[in-house]
Amino acid sequence: MALFDLNGRRALVTGSSMGIGLALARGLGQAGARIVLNARNAERLAEAAQALRDEGLTVDELPFDVTDHEGVRAAVDAYEADEGAIDILVNNAGMQHRAPLEDFPPEAFDRLMKTNVYSAFHVGQACARHMIGRGAGRIINIASVQTSLARPGIAPYTATKGAIANLTKGMTTDWARTGLNCNAIAPGYFKTPLNEALVADPEFTSWLEKRTPAGRWGEVEELVGACVFLSAPASNFVNGQTLFVDGGITASL
């Protein structure tokens, strides 16, 4: 369907050498987009890129540190000049750190803010400067169920994901009039490298299965549909929204 066709578009996905980022990149590529993979680790990035190429997808590699404002801008500007327009940005790069709030290391809080929030600003601004000039562009920020819920031991992470939802609204308020669509996807509990410890914990898995109306962990491929929708013409009048893909966990007490 033309409403979901991404042929001729380029999509930059940050933190896309594994986990949710890689799954979203693969899904956007299968919908027709040319994929621009990003990560700090160039070797791991190259492996992910080759895996997608082996599946028949068109992939570029753009290694840079999402927390380095000048480095981000230089990388995005160079890619735009040398390769062409970045039509879709998925701000996926993120990290987690678990500790009781009263003992939470301030340096870990700082890393969380830089990786989960500052990065969305840095890369979002760098791409938006080009998108605004073209009068079109899609920015999709990856939020979390912790955008609206909290659990013990991850209060700073919760703060970063709340910030992502409001940054998304701010992007919309400033940029929708220029032709940009800025939205967020809030995943529930998915089997990812970030959640390895929780997946391996039978007690937590049992709690999650009872707490989630769908009764299970999510699979990363189940996030692809939302990402394609928000990247495609089907969502032309959708702006400033956070779409929860969580098996119903935020809908149920």
Q: 């769908």: which residue's tokens?
A: 214
How many CB atoms sit inside 10 A of residue 210's CB? 9
As a whole number of angstroms, the distance between CA 116 and CA 172 comes to 19
Backbone angles phi, psi at 252, to 5 degrees: -130, 140
CB-CB contact of 182 with 176 (8 Å): yes
Q: Is 79 a catalytic residue?
A: no
Q: Which of 79, 118, 157, 189 is catalytic?
A: 157
Joined together, the tokens standing for residue 107 give 């340096």
E strand spans, the chain = 10-13, 34-37, 59-61, 88-91, 137-142, 180-187, 242-245
Q: 């735009």: which residue's tokens?
A: 80
How far is C-alpha 134 from the geometric centre of its chain's CA atoms? 23
- For residue 185, list its beta bridge partners: 142, 243
Tell me the catalytic residues: 157
